[in-house]
Amino acid sequence: MAEFISAEELLEASQRASEAGYRKMDAYSPFPIEGLSEAVGFYKSKLPLLVFCGGLFGCCGGFFLQWWPNVIGYPQNIGGKPWDSWPAFIPITFELTILCAALSATFGMIALNRLPSPYHPAFNVERFALASKDRFFLMIEAEDPMFDLERTRQFLNELNPREVSEVES
Amino acid sequence: MAGIEPDNVGTLVSPGSDVLGPGHSYGSVTDKISAIVLTRGTGNKYKVGFGVAVLLFIGLNMGITVLMAYGVGVWGINIPVGWGYAITNFVWWIGIGHAGTLISAFLLLMRQKWRTSINRFAEAMTLFAVACAGMFPLLHMGRPWLFYWLLPYPDTMGVWPQFRSPLVWDVFAVSTYATVSLLFWYVGLIPDLATLRDRATKKFKQVIYGVFALGWRGSARHWKNYEMAGLLLAGLATPLVVSVHTVVSFDFTIAVLPGWHSTIFPPYFVAGAIYSGFAMVIALAVPLRKYYGLEDFLTIRHLDNMGKIMLATGLIVAYSYVMETFMAFYSGNKFDIYMIMNRMTGPYAVIYWVLIAVNLVIPQLLWSARIRRNPLYLFLMSFSVQTGMWLERYMIIVTSLHRDFVPSSWGMFAPTRWDWIVFLGTIGFFFTLFYLFIRFLPMISIFEMRDLVHKTAEEARP
């Protein structure tokens, strides 16, 4: 794991590691950096699809929730209106669409990020606490096919980091 | 964190901009905001303010207890004025909440950088205002423990709620709004909770913040999903804000009563909500910035912008007042004309004219940049607007109900002491929650401030 002092250095280091052939790595920063996830090989978030499905479920479910009791389960004649006077169902349908989509956005984000995860090897590095303040880290995992403790350390040192440390798992 | 020496080798320092004071780095914004929670403790002013809020909150509990024991008769409501303070307060509180979501969602989509330092506490304000608002329809039911009758659940009688009723729409709208605001607020807090976890020195705090931070590490993959989630939530919350107050206005506008039955209500209510909401944000921002020395983060530019939004929404509200009057005469409907004349000259005329003064005339001072850029004037102005918006809801409810089509059914409404105790009690409840919030959670989004430092520094680079 290498520590950097600026966002630009981390971005460049990630790109160089990627060019050097490293695949299993991750970069840590105290705020989102544009293009960083692409540099470590993560291109597309599945979240929008998930949220769309959630919203669709809420929309159909919300409409059915009102349509069924009014037309089939417990029909009432109110002011001679047709039983399936659907415009009256729009507000609740809309609210439930938003509700289900928002729930899937939140829990989807948490699940896709594999949270909650109270333990992670990165936390074993003492200086990693600075990743939530003002430091930037690049970590190459031991599972990477190109990983070799000495050579990877040397490679990271070439990137001009502030410090390189070994992460115990 | 405990064992790590702070060093500032090669630290990026932002030259600042009109929304961020100069000379800040990632570290300095982090330290400054997290210190309020972790090391500053509470001063005497905090203690006095918190004490007053808690006293009012105790009053609320008393008011609710009396209400439960004796029923809604302890309030001033009667026939024909069945909706008194409770619904006035409900609409007022939920309106106040709207500015928070608007700042965090709409301004995010519009890529307004100045929202960064106000969005966190504005969102907290939303959440607490909705909590206060939600209480009123429940209490107003008289038998609040049966609130679940409004929910669609398979009861033994096979009876369903009336889905064509705006009051049932309200249940869905307000509960969705409360849930989505909570999710949005919590998602925004996760990276900052991780910051607090890493910065806390006491084991107990590390564990508590650690649990809520869910093990956040700020990995590039995390941020990617996270930003996507934030964007999607903002996209969902923006129409939600508009829909919630629209549905609240349907409570009135679906009725056939003169003074309620009006198509201008949805936009008029939404604009009014944002108007009072920004007034509340200003009322909170001005003292916060003074007592915690946050002038670098909550700059004059922020106050100026909020003043402009207040002016714009205030003008929409003013337009609605004019249109209401105009439409009554233009339609030639004698009940509508009577309603308007009754508002202006009837027994509640004082309310109407005070409303026009504090909600329509005084806010015109916001045209002046000197007023907008002076925290004290702006602070006073926000009280004028909040009083005005409360009176507006009171006027809509009471003057429309107390005289309808048939003179034999006319009546008057006067609040009782329990009306006042419950109303002031919710203000205490709101501030109790808010005081706890500024003590235990970062009131300004730390990671977004770091982002702002990065962006302002980048912009300043030749």
Out of B183, B184, B227, closest to residue A32 by CB? B227
Could A115 and B216 be called an inter-chain contact, meaning their C-beta atoms sit closer than 8 Å? yes
β-pair type (A136-140, A2-4): antiparallel
Q: Is B264 helix (H, G, I), strand (E, B) or coil?
A: coil
Within 8 A by CB and 6+ apart from B302, the residues are B19, B114, B117, B118, B285
Out of A99, A113, A122, closest to residue B225 by CB? A113
Among residues of chain B, what percentage have pLDDT more than 90? 53
Could A117 and B233 be called an inter-chain contact, meaning their C-beta atoms sit closer than 8 Å? no
Average pLDDT (B401-420) is 91
> What CA–CA distance (Å, rounded) separates A77 from A67?
14
pLDDT tens digits, B4-29? 555 655 567 777 777 788 878 888 88
Q: Which residues pair with A137 in a beta bridge?
A: A3, A28
β-pair type (A136-140, A25-28): antiparallel
End-to-end CA distance of chain B: 35
Dihedral sign for Cα atoms in the order B124, B247, B306, A33: positive
pLDDT tens digits, B261-270? 888 999 999 9
Out of B26, B197, B227, closest to residue A30 by CB? B26
With beta carbons under 8 A apart, name residues in chain A contacting B158. 73-74
B33-37 — which CB contacts under 8 Å span 24+ positions?
B33/B297, B33/B442, B33/B443, B33/B444, B33/B446, B33/B449, B34/B195, B34/B196, B34/B199, B34/B442, B34/B446, B36/B292, B36/B438, B36/B442, B36/B443, B37/B196, B37/B439, B37/B440, B37/B441, B37/B442
Residue in A closest to B151 by C-alpha: A65
Say if B11 is an interface residue toward chain A (CB within 8 Å). yes
Burial (CB < 10 A; 0-12, 13-18, 19+), residue B143, is exposed
> What CA–CA distance (Å, rounded) separates B249 from B264?
9
Average pLDDT (A41-45) is 79
Could A5 and B9 be called an inter-chain contact, meaning their C-beta atoms sit closer than 8 Å? yes
pLDDT tens digits, A131-144? 888 888 888 887 77
pLDDT tens digits, B117-147? 888 889 999 999 999 999 999 999 888 888 8
Average pLDDT value over all residues in chain B = 89
pLDDT tens digits, B289-330? 888 888 888 888 889 999 999 999 999 999 999 999 999 999
Which residues 231-270 in chain B show a CB within 8 A of chain A?
A: 232-233, 236-237, 239-240, 243, 247, 250
Average pLDDT (A46-53) is 92
Q: At B41, which helix (H) or strand (E)? A: none
Could A37 and B223 be called an inter-chain contact, meaning their C-beta atoms sit closer than 8 Å? yes
Provide the b/e sequence for B272-307 (b: ≥16 CB within 10 Å): bbbbbbbbbbbbbbbebbeebebebbbbbebbbbbb
DSSP B57: H
* Packing angle, helices B116-140 and B166-199, rounded to 10: 140
Across B22-31, B59-68, B363-372, least confident range: B22-31
pLDDT score of B3: 47
Residue B165's alpha-carbon distances to A11, B147, B176, B244, B256, in angstroms, are 55, 16, 17, 15, 14
The amino acid present at B446, given as its one-letter code, is I
Q: How confident is the model at residue B200 (pLDDT cuts 50, 70, 90)?
A: confident
Residue A20 has pLDDT above 60, yes or no: yes
Say if B451 is an interface residue toward chain A (CB within 8 Å). yes
Q: Is B80 helix (H, G, I), strand (E, B) or coil?
A: coil
Inter-residue contact B176 to B236 (CB < 8 Å): no
Could A32 and B223 be called an inter-chain contact, meaning their C-beta atoms sit closer than 8 Å? yes
Could A31 and B233 be called an inter-chain contact, meaning their C-beta atoms sit closer than 8 Å? no
Residue A75's alpha-carbon distances to A88, B99, B161, in angstroms, are 15, 40, 12
> What CA–CA distance (Å, rounded) separates B261 from A18?
64
Q: According to DSSP H, which parts of A69-160 are helical? A: 90-112, 149-158
The amino acid present at B129, given as its one-letter code, is A
B46 compared with A42, residue with greater pLDDT: B46
**Shortest alpha-carbon distance between residue B228 and chain A (Å):** 7
Average pLDDT (B384-407) is 92
Residue B301's closest CA among B58, B17, B81?
A: B17
Residue B17's closest CA among B454, B370, B369, B373?
A: B454
B193: left (phi over 0), alpha (psi -120 to 50) or beta: alpha
Residue in A closest to B183 by C-alpha: A106
Across A150-164, B169-183, B211-225, B431-445, least confident range: A150-164
Q: Which residues pair with A26 in a beta bridge?
A: A139
What is the predicted ipTM?
Answer: 0.89
Q: Which residues pair with A4 in a beta bridge?
A: A136
Q: Is B328 helix (H, G, I), strand (E, B) or coil?
A: helix
Could A132 and B195 be called an inter-chain contact, meaning their C-beta atoms sit closer than 8 Å? yes
Q: Is A61 helix (H, G, I), strand (E, B) or coil?
A: helix
Among residues of chain B, what percentage have pLDDT more than 70? 97
> What CA–CA distance (Å, rounded) separates B435 from B430?
9
Could A70 and B163 be called an inter-chain contact, meaning their C-beta atoms sit closer than 8 Å? yes
Burial (CB < 10 A; 0-12, 13-18, 19+), residue B343, is buried
Which two tokens mark B381?
């102005």
pLDDT tens digits, B87-122? 999 999 999 988 888 888 888 888 888 888 888 889
Average pLDDT (B151-173) is 86
Which two tokens mark A27?
């970069």
Q: At A164, which helix (H) or strand (E)? A: strand A163-164
> What CA–CA distance (Å, rounded) separates A13 from A16?
5
Average pLDDT (A98-112) is 93
Which residue in the block uniquely carries the two structure tokens 């909590």?
A: B131
